[in-house]
Structure 1
Amino acid sequence: MNLKTIGLIFTKSRSFAQLSKTFQRPYGRVQIKENKASFVRPLSSNADNATLKKGWLEWKVIMTKFVPVGLCLIAVMQWRFYRKQISDRTASHWEVKFYCALPLRAVSRWWGWLADKHIPESLRPLVYNLYIKTFGVDLSEAANQDLGSYRSLADFFSRPLKEGVREINQECPLVSPCDGTVLHFGPIETGHVEQVKGVTYSLENFLGENTWNNNRNHNEDCDYRKSLFHKPHLPNNLYHCVIYLAPGDYHRFHSPVDWQPNHRRHFCGQLLSVNPSIARWLPGLFCINERAVYLGHWEHGFFSMAAVGATNVGSVRVYFDKTLQTNRPKYRQPFINKDDKCLGTSINLNKGDLVGEFRMGSTIVLVFEAPDSFEFKLTPFQRVRVGEGIGCINKTKYVDRLSKTHTNTITIAT
């Protein structure tokens, strides 16, 4: 709807007719003298004063009602026009610099402080119901539906679900680690990965230097990709999946496979928004933002799971990693932009195990090795829930590929 259409609708409305009469009553008729308009005011009288006062009051009410509405409509249309412009292109170098210069970390720390504050019990239903209606929260799935029992917003964000609400698919080797929207998925053919269609980030910048593998000669992007393989002798490939958690989603995340994390790498980056519209606009977003990357292996080779921070994410908690501290002020961050920790071999996660929580919506990124017969069971921007099967291995293709590889190995040896 453009401004011309809005103007036509307004001129035909009853309110416009009232507004026209209001302007006519207090000022009387208009006389034209020598091509100049001059208003001839009627003689003053109590009746005229009453009419003038009544007209002014009617005009004031009408202007009070419709001027703000009109300004809001203009602002909304301008914002939509601007968003359409930025959705058709990616951010320039200076736009990225300006966006990163905004005090979003301070805002996020303030939000984290506010989210941890206790809310008076009498106000809790009002505050939480407003949040539920704003973000479409399904409270019927919560283990505790008594809004008065959640002491703070942070407690409400990280609420547990009822037992059995999320069933874990045992047939698929890979299940969704969280509730959310799938931004992108697919094989990784080069050293760059798509965060959304057409917008990429560097795999090496995202995961960091490969210090867990002896094959560290990666002068080119594709060499770094190859260095991640734990089973290079098998017909395997690298895959990725990006899932965005909105503020109204269940905020805890679970293990998507049976695996063993051996290493944690914490990057103290920015806290930019990871909303899909920003992900389409800002290349390398996941490399810029703060993130905790857990690296290890599963039955098919390399596996990693990254929890990416975002604006207004109070903190990221991982239950088996008590030393992880996210959203720290600048002066408490390490001099280098990453913090490594060896987890050893004592942590074993089963599919569906609870891993951690966000204190607001954010993003989970999976990068893993799997047979080249692996197939995602997803569509772009599909809604997924914890435990849903999102990827399977075509067993027929897998067996055929293994047999061919085995035959080729025997031939070479002979």
Structure 2
Amino acid sequence: MRAPRTLRALPSPSTCLLRTSHQRPQFRYQQQSSRFVHMDHSGHNGRRGHQPGKRPFSTGKGGKRKQEQGEPFHRRLGRALRSTKIRWYPIPAALGIGFLGLAQLYKINEREKKARREEEGEPYRRKRIRPTGPWQVQVMSTLPLKAMSRLWGRFNELVIPYYLRVPGFKLYSWIFGVNLSEVSEPDLHAYPNLAAFFSRTLRPGVRPLDPNPSALLSPADGRVLSFGLIDGGEVEQVKGMTYSLDALLGTSHPSSAPNLSSPSHLFARETPAHHHQHVESEALVKRDEEFAILNGIRYTLPGLLSGAPSSPHPPPTDASTPSLPPSEEEVTDSLAVPWYNPPRRTALYYCVIYLAPGDYHRFHSPTAWVAEKRRHFAGELYSVSPYLQRTLPGLFTLNERVALLGRWRHGFFSMTPVGATNVGSIVINFDAELRTNSLLSDKAADKSPNGYAEATYGAASRVLHGRALGRGEEMGGFRLGSTVVLVFEAPEGEMGEKEGWDGEGQWRKGGWNWGVRNGQRVKVGEALGWVDEKV
């Protein structure tokens, strides 16, 4: 006898359809709708008119999704916020109290440090400059360029496997145009890393010096970006874009503006004897003090060379090393002026030379001169590529640089190696105390009220009171391509006509004459210009 069948669940009459087959009906309970739905053996809803292979009509999630896509975003956002359940998680009271205590302790500590600095007269740390310009400049200003340059320096010091040195250095030379025939060490296996290859030396005789003793030589291999006469303390970075000479070099007496009418006394301290000269050039100094605004920062000639005019400056350190006897003898003879030498009117000139990554990275003395002091400016490390020089005003006054100040036979002379991205390391051969792009050494320059740390070379020579540098003598180098800026005083001369003159430029009788043009490639030892000594 067969047991009677029991129905597991009784469907509601409104949701159950009549069954036309003799098969056992199956029902599935849906929790969301709380109702029973009849299911056939094919797994589809047992609705009337259903055909296999076609999706039955439904007003479920698919229809709601299509309906939601047509709604505005704010309605969907509001519905999502209303339907989302907010859950609160308890925070331990001890953790909250501890956080508030640490925050209050930090504020008290900073307030005490500020009061201590004000009492001791200690200056604040230099704030990072955020220049304005195109989006490329804005993006670059947000990057930690100095930290990236330090990391790149560490990468350059990694030892390259022996079997990869030759193909690696040849690939680099092919990309950047390095002339391997000029390298003093032809065996590329001798360079253990990229840093050693960047600071490579050249074979003797491949950079001959110009025979004209009155010529000013190129200090490095590179391209002449700009040159000319300094007018009103403004140096042309590229065509149509200038910066202040003060912001580049600094002044020895920040409380007084430079006397541009007498370049020989550009860095001399003001005395009562020279007071009338400052009065006569008051209009000229006023124009320099109101120099153009560079990226929202006011740069004047004292600001470029020595920063704020009213801030006290710590005494300079002594970084003197003995001069080489041949160089000292050469410089002494060059600076010797006969008693019958008539005074000549002088002017300030400048020249900017850009070193590409494939160029010879060491720089040499362009003439016989005396370096009296060094100023290390702890600035930024923006790229000094020609594109950025055209885009970013005052680039050389923003970047880290080492200004070497001194004199040559015609008056003031300065040579400034400028750092760049991945080129923060500037080496001066006769200055062992100099450390550029360093976390420790930059603190003195960063905290200086004038933005630089100064050192003197007065003890290097008892006669010259500075470091004697002979013509073509190696002075230092970069770790990768950068820029060298020359600012010097030379006789102004008079306009004249010279037999056989090709007509390019202006020849000045008894004065300074340029021998290069913008964009010209120059090498160490080639003449940038000369002083016409035949008066």
* TM value normalised by structure 2: 0.54
Of 234, 239, 251, which residue of structure 1 is paired with 2:344?
A: 234
Alignment of structure 1 residues 311-326 onto 2, 5 Å: 311-326=421-436
Q: CA deviation at 1:92?
A: 3.1
How far 1:331 moved relative to its partner? 8.9
Q: CA deviation at 1:107?
A: 1.1
Match of 1:287 among 385, 397, 412: 397
Deviations, residues 107-148 of structure 1 (Å, cap 9, x unaligned): 111111111121121111122112111101001001101111
- Indicate the residue corresponding to 2:417 in structure 1: 307
Amino acid at match of 1:250: Y
- How far the C-alpha of 1:215 sits from its partner, in A, is 3.7
Residue 110 (structure 1) aligned with residue 110 (structure 2): no
Distance in 1, matches of 2:237 and 2:160, equals 37
CA distance in 1, matches of 2:487, 2:287: 16
Q: Give 1:154-169 correspondences, 5 Å limit.
A: 154-169=195-210
The letter for the 2-side match of 1:208 is G
Gaps of 5+ in 2: 1-130, 254-266, 272-277, 290-299, 306-336, 338-342, 459-464, 493-510
Tell whether the 8 Å contact from 2:436 to 2:442 is kept in structure 1 after alignment: no
What count of residue pairs does the alignment treat as equivalent?
306
Alpha carbons 1:256, 1:351 under 8 Å: kept: yes
Instruction: Classify 1:235/1:332 alpha carbon distance in 2 versus 1 (closer, same or farther; 3 Å).
Output: closer
Amino acid at match of 2:269: N
Contact 1:191–1:221, Cα closer than 8 Å, also in 2 = no
Counterpart in the other structure of 1:146: 187
1:203-242 superposed matches below 5 A: 203-211=245-253, 212-215=267-270, 219-222=285-288, 234-242=344-352
Spell out the pairing of 1:120-269 with structure 2 (5 A cutoff).
120-171=161-212, 172-211=214-253, 212-215=267-270, 219-222=285-288, 234-269=344-379
Is the CA contact (8 Å cut-off) linking 1:180 and 1:385 kept in structure 2? yes
Query: Does the aligned pair in 2 maintain the 1:111–1:314 contact within 8 Å?
Result: no
Structure 1 residue aligned with 2:453: 339
Aligned to 2:438: 328
2:486 corresponds to? 366
Cα contact 1:180–1:243 (8 A) shared by 2: yes
Q: In structure 2, what is the equivalent of residue 272 of structure 1?
A: 382
For the residue of structure 2 that corresponds to 1:112, the secondary structure is helix
Superposed CA RMSD: 2.7
Match of residue 351, structure 1, among 465, 471, 479: 471
1:69 — aligned with what?
none
- What is the CA-CA distance between 1:342 and the residue it aligns to? 1.0
Alignment TM-score, normalising by the size of structure 1: 0.69
- Supply the distance in 2 between the matched residues of 1:314 and 1:288 (Cα, whole angstroms): 13
CA shift for structure 1 position 95: 7.0
More helix by share: 1
Distance verdict in 2 for CA 1:378–1:142, change over 3 Å: same
Conservation of the 8 A alpha-carbon contact between 2:221 and 2:523: yes
Which letter does structure 2 place at the counterpart of 1:316?
I
User: Which residue identity does 2:404 align to in structure 1?
Assistant: Y
The alpha carbon displacement at 1:209 in A equals 2.7
**Aligned partners of 1:98 and 1:215: how far apart in 2?**
44
Contact 1:179 1:250 in 2 (8 A): yes
Corresponding residue SS for 1:240: strand
| Distance 1:325-1:225 versus aligned 2 partners, 3 A rule | closer
Identity %: 47
- Report the Cα distance in structure 1 between the residues aligned to 2:136 and 2:189, rounded to whole angstroms: 44
Q: Deviations over 1:54-101 (max 9, x none)?
A: xxxxxxxxxxxxxxxxxxxxxxxxxxxxxxxxxxxx953997565323
The alpha carbon displacement at 1:225 in A equals: 6.9
Q: Return 5+ residue gaps in structure 1 as ranges.
A: 1-89, 400-414
Give the drift of 1:104: 1.1
User: 1-side partners of 2:144 and 2:424: how far apart?
Assistant: 15
